[in-house]
């Protein structure tokens, strides 16, 4: 009985001693937290999607306090979050241009070079059949890694190709990080003209793999009156700072790979 009491006393003394040490250490190494941190975090959606370029919402809020980030980086929170944080920081939020993800693949006529019955995962598929079952090494594999990565339900697989719901997309680009083919770009929400292809192969190679791939023919470049489209590495790209959405490039593309989502005018 005496041994038991002795053991309890020893453990109690040790516990008290180490508790005192921890209390002293917490005082010595205490790092003051800016009182604005919690209110700033409350302004953010808490998605921790990484779209701001930081590891999470708390890290982004701290970067704002430290002057290392501006208030318009949170794509998920949008202008509302920027305005709320600006109020806390006592500054102007600045203009925030909404951007959304875009899948650079139409996939409507991509050819298959092999049947794939492996793991239902895009990355796994690229490891099989010589960079995947598609003949085009730049095409969407359609196994939905991007869909799984999206916290906002903005992506779905339609006819084997990933599609973005522009109304639900926040532009966080978690989908782009999950895509092993790197075919997801961020574009302005207001844009209406997009090149649905990411192939950088020469025209003849692209045509063998997909009938709706960009062949770098330059006809779109010649048609554009605003110098808003260019061809690099056999692939057309749009400069959205110059694009007016006139649709001239869309009309001239022989492969119909340039998409125009502008509302069509109805003749009276």
Q: What is the pLDDT of residues 238-251, one digit of tens each?
A: 999 999 999 999 99
Q: What is the pLDDT of residues 199-219, one digit of tens each?
A: 999 999 999 999 889 999 999
The neighbour count for residue 215, using CB atoms within 10 Å, is 23
Domain hosting residue 46, numbered range? 37-89
Structure tokens at 48: 């921790």
pLDDT at 252 over 80: yes
- Domain end marker among 162, 187, 212: 187
Residue in 151, 147, 181 with CA at minimum distance from that of residue 162: 147
Same domain, residue pair 179 and 196: no
Q: Is residue 18 a part of any domain in this protein?
A: no
Which CATH number characterizes residue 144's domain? 3.30.70.20
Structure tokens at 196: 């649905």
The neighbour count for residue 71, using CB atoms within 10 Å, is 24
Lowest mean pLDDT among 109-113, 175-179, 261-265: 261-265
Same domain, residue pair 175 and 203: no
The predicted pLDDT at position 5 comes to 76
- Number of domains the chain contains: 3
Same domain, residue pair 46 and 111: no
Q: Is residue 229 a part of any domain in this protein?
A: yes
Same domain, residue pair 198 and 212: yes
Q: Is residue 210 a part of any domain in this protein?
A: yes
Answer for the pair 141, 132: CB distance below 8 angstroms, yes or no: yes
pLDDT at 268 over 50: no
CA 250 – CA 148 distance, rounded (Å):
32
Residue in 158, 122, 118 with CA at minimum distance from that of residue 141: 122
Backbone angles phi, psi at 103, to 5 degrees: -85, 115
CA 40 – CA 60 distance, rounded (Å):
9
Q: What is the pLDDT of residues 157-216, one digit of tens each?
A: 998 899 999 999 999 999 999 999 999 999 999 999 999 999 999 999 999 999 889 999
Q: What is the pLDDT of residues 37-76, one digit of tens each?
A: 999 999 999 988 888 889 899 999 999 999 999 999 998 8
Q: What is the pLDDT of residues 82-110, one digit of tens each?
A: 999 999 999 988 888 899 999 999 876 78
Distances 257 to 103, 135, 230 between C-alpha atoms, Å: 12, 17, 14
Lowest mean pLDDT among 28-32, 43-47, 229-233: 28-32
- Domain end marker among 137, 163, 187: 187
Q: Is residue 7 a part of any domain in this protein?
A: no
Q: Which of helix, strand or coil describes residue 236?
A: strand
Q: Is residue 24 a part of any domain in this protein?
A: no
CA 159 – CA 113 distance, rounded (Å):
18
Query: What is the pLDDT averaged over residues 257-266?
Result: 79
Sequence-distant (≥ 6) Cβ neighbours of residue 101 within 8 angstroms: 154, 155, 164, 169, 171, 173, 175, 176, 184, 185, 186, 187
What pTM did the predictor assign?
0.77
- Domain end marker among 153, 187, 221: 187
Q: Is residue 11 a part of any domain in this protein?
A: no
Q: Is residue 19 a part of any domain in this protein?
A: no
Same domain, residue pair 181 and 214: no
Same domain, residue pair 201 and 260: yes
Q: Where are the beta strands (DSSP E) in the chain?
A: 99-103, 155-158, 161-164, 184-188, 193-195, 229-232, 235-238, 258-260
Structure tokens at 201: 């192969």
């Amino acid at each position: 009985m005496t041994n038991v009491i002795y053991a309890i006393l020893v453990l109690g003394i040790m516990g008290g001693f180490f508790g005192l040490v921890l209390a002293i250490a917490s005082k010595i190494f205490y790092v003051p937290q800016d009182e604005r941190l919690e209110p700033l975090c409350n302004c953010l959606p808490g998605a921790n999607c990484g779209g701001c370029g930081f590891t999470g919402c708390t890290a982004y809020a701290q970067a704002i306090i430290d002057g290392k980030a501006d208030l318009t980086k949170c794509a998920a929170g949008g202008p509302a979050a920027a305005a709320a944080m600006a109020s806390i920081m006592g500054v102007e939020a600045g203009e925030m241009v909404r951007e959304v993800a875009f899948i650079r693949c139409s996939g409507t006529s991509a050819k298959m070079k092999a049947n794939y019955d492996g793991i239902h995962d895009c990355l796994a598929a690229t490891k099989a059949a010589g960079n995947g079952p598609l003949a085009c090494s730049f095409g969407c594999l359609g196994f939905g890694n991007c869909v799984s990565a999206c916290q906002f339900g903005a992506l779905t697989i339609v006819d084997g190709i990933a599609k973005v719901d522009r109304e639900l997309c926040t532009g966080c680009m978690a989908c782009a990080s999950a895509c092993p083919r790197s075919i997801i770009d961020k574009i302005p929400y207001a844009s209406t003209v997009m090149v649905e292809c990411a192939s950088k192969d020469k025209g003849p190679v692209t045509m063998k793999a997909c009938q709706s791939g960009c062949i770098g023919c330059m006809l779109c470049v010649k048609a554009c009156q605003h110098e808003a489209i260019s061809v690099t590495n056999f692939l057309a790209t749009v400069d959205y700072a110059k694009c007016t959405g006139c649709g001239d490039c869309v009309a001239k593309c022989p492969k119909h790979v340039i998409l125009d989502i502008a509302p069509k005018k109805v003749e009276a």
